Amino acid sequence: MEKVMRLASEKGVVIFSKSSCCLCYAVKILFQELRVNPGVYELDQDPEGREMEKALTRLGCNAPVPAVFIDGKLVGSTNEVMSLHLSGNLIPLLKPYQNLS
Amino acid sequence: MVLAFDRNGYSNPISQREMQTTKRRFISESEHVVRAQFTTSRPMGIYEPFRQVPMWKNTFENDHILFASTSTIVDVEPNQENKVDVISRASTAPPSSNEQEGNKPLDDKVQRRLAQNREAARKSRLRKKAYVQQLETSRLKLAQIEQELDRARKQGVYLGSTSLSSSHIGNFGTLNSGITTFEMEYGYWVEEQHRQNSELRNALQARVTDVELSMLVESGLNHYYNLFRLKEDAAKSDIFYLMSGIWRTSAERFFLWIGGFRPSELLNVVMPHIEPLSDQQVAKVNTLRQSSQQAEDALTQGIDKLHQTLALSMASDPMSEGGYDCQMASAVEKLEALESFVNQADHLRQQTMRHMSRILTTHQAARALLALGEFFHRLQALSSLWAARPCEPA
């Protein structure tokens, strides 16, 4: 859990993912489109991946991945990210981290 | 108006049941007529080809008796001058004393009636020929359809909303109760959608109050949200069924994107009907459209990635994937992701509708819902027209 929280705070935008997960890929693409470079941690490539998955589930994620953190706080999974984006509330959160085009 | 002629040539309009009895009486008096099965329960009247089948069938079996004229009672038009004699006679029957009415000399009246009889017999023969041809074509078509069904069954397709009647084809191939339920509920959903649309149209025309209108808008939106719930359940039963769009009509299927319509496309459908919009509304709608498109793109690329990785995995030698079981297990895991994609796509659709309903006024929202409903309705009509196109000869 500490590892998760530590990693989540290392960058403004962090995504916990799995290299085999295509929904995670979709979320990464979305952030790319929004000109953000999130820190990505592939749990299936981390020796402590299993524990981290459990920790994420305990934090309230239905699916452990993708798990998106902004400013060290858990935003949620694909559902929450999409909802935020459609309501126009995602971009304001990402503003400080958007790359200049 | 239906008339019957008695032996003396007098006509009187009679009841259906009377006709039935009259007809049977005439039949029994003629020795050379093959008795067909008549069901008294069915009303007689206008020429009904299907009723004639038993008679013609008997005819084929007893080929020494040619039933040339039918015992149909023809619907007579009031302005018709030449009234057709409805009394049936077997043309090959030698004139019996019954039909000749004793030894009366053949006068003009009888001559005329015989001529009319011949004419009726001729027409009947032509009708029969046409009907038999129709039967032949139908038989071929049926064989074709059975072949198609067989093929489709092997592919595990649920033959719900094709041009074939959905409710009766429930027991083909792999029976999946979740999908059967979905098909049934979707059928009801479409009916309800049409009803709600009519109600909305009437309400707009009648210029009802905003309060009433907002209730209709609320129901309309909830109705769509219900569909997404139905789809969520169906996705658990058979994701491929849902993604194939086979449960929708063909023209609707043409617009398929991850199990339904693209939210941004639906926004475009609705736009012309909600103008004029305030500047603020325009800005909000544009932002919504852009966000939706970005989200759609992301999901599309996600599915494409799924295609790629699955294809790569299936194309590889099992040995390089850790063995056959391992390869298959990982492939199954990939397919399980499809359910999430469809759910996300539906989530997108729902969110887009929700946000639009907040941006628009009640009246605009009502017009938008009506436009959407009519768009789907027209696509459904288009599908029917398309399916009914006459087939060109090969």
pLDDT confidence of residue B390: 84
Q: Which of B299, B310, B342 to mutate to test the interface with A (most CBs of A within 10 A)?
A: B299
| B169 and B159 Cβ atoms separated by less than 8 Å | yes
Residue of B147 and A83 predicted with greater confidence: A83
Residues facing residue B260 across a β-bridge: B257
pLDDT confidence of residue B102: 53
> Which range (A92-101, B97-106, B237-246, B275-284) has the least confidence?
B97-106
- Report the pLDDT averaged over residues B322-333: 88
Q: Which of A28, A61, A86, A90 to mutate to test the interface with B (most CBs of B within 10 A)?
A: A86
Contact B291 A34 (CB under 8 A): no
Residues of A in contact with B258 (CB under 8 A): none
**CA of A37 vs chain B CAs: smallest distance (Å):** 15
pLDDT confidence of residue B203: 96
Residues of B in contact with A87 (CB under 8 A): 351, 355
pLDDT confidence of residue B232: 95
Nearest to B197 by CA among B171, B231, B220: B220
**CA of A86 vs chain B CAs: smallest distance (Å):** 6
B249-273 residue pLDDT tens: 999 999 999 999 999 999 999 999 9
The share of chain A scoring above pLDDT 70, in percent, equals: 99
Nearest CA in chain B to A31: B298
B272-326 residue pLDDT tens: 999 999 999 999 999 999 999 999 999 999 999 999 999 998 998 888 778 888 8
Contact A82 B333 (CB under 8 A): no
Residues of A in contact with B287 (CB under 8 A): 88
CB contact set of A54 (below 8 Å; sequence gap of 6+)? A64
Quick check: helix, strand or coil at residue B270?
Answer: helix
The minimal CB distance from B295 to the residues A21, A23, A30 is found for: A30
Contact A88 B303 (CB under 8 A): no
pLDDT confidence of residue A32: 94
pLDDT confidence of residue B350: 96
Quick check: helix, strand or coil at residue A42?
Answer: strand
Contact A86 B295 (CB under 8 A): yes
B→A contacts (Cβ < 8 Å), by residue, are: 284, 287-288, 291-292, 294-295, 297-299, 301-303, 305-306, 309, 330, 333-334, 337, 340-341, 344, 347-348, 351-352, 355
Residues facing residue B12 across a β-bridge: B4
Quick check: helix, strand or coil at residue B239?
Answer: helix
Residues of B in contact with A25 (CB under 8 A): 301-302, 305
Torsion-angle region of A76 (φ positive above 0: left; ψ -120 to 50: alpha; else: beta): left
pLDDT at position A89 over 60: yes
Q: For residue B50, what pLDDT band results from cuts at 50, 70 and 90?
A: very low
> Which range (A46-60, B38-52, B310-324) has the least confidence?
B38-52
**CA of B355 vs chain A CAs: smallest distance (Å):** 7
Q: What's the rounded Cα separation, in Å, for the pair A21 and A24?
A: 5
Angle formed at CA B42 by CA B38 and CA B43, multiple of 5 degrees: 110
A62-79 residue pLDDT tens: 888 899 999 999 999 999
Q: Is residue A2 within 8 angstroms of chain B, CB to CB? A: no
pLDDT confidence of residue B20: 54
Residues facing residue B257 across a β-bridge: B260
Q: Residue B104 gets which letter from DSSP?
A: -
The share of chain B scoring above pLDDT 90, in percent, equals: 50
**CA of A79 vs chain B CAs: smallest distance (Å):** 7
The residue to which tokens 């057709």 are assigned: B84
Task: Supply the Cα-derived Rg of chain B in whole angstroms.
Answer: 32
B206-222 residue pLDDT tens: 999 999 999 999 999 99
pLDDT confidence of residue A71: 92
Contact A23 B340 (CB under 8 A): yes
Concatenating the DSSP letter of every residue in B15-46 gives: -HHHHHHHHHHHHHH-TTPPPPP--TTSPP-S
pLDDT confidence of residue B77: 45
The minimal CB distance from A25 to the residues B295, B305, B355 is found for: B305
- Report the pLDDT averaged over residues B374-380: 96
Q: For residue B27, what pLDDT band results from cuts at 50, 70 and 90?
A: very low
Nearest CA in chain B to A34: B294
pLDDT confidence of residue B78: 46
Q: What's the rounded Cα separation, in Å, for the pair B7 and B101?
A: 9
End-to-end CA distance of chain B: give it in Å, rounded. Answer: 43
pLDDT confidence of residue B389: 86
Q: For residue B345, what pLDDT band results from cuts at 50, 70 and 90?
A: very high
Note if the pTM is more than 0.80. Answer: no
B134-193 residue pLDDT tens: 888 888 888 888 877 777 766 655 544 444 444 444 444 455 788 889 999 999 999 999
Q: Which of B228, B290, B291, B348 to mutate to test the interface with A (most CBs of A within 10 A)?
A: B291
Q: For residue B5, what pLDDT band results from cuts at 50, 70 and 90?
A: low
pLDDT confidence of residue B150: 75
At how many degrees (to 10) do helices A78-86 and B279-315 cross?
Answer: 150
> Residue B351 CA to chain centroid, in angstroms?
33
pLDDT confidence of residue B47: 43
pLDDT confidence of residue B142: 86
pLDDT confidence of residue B117: 92
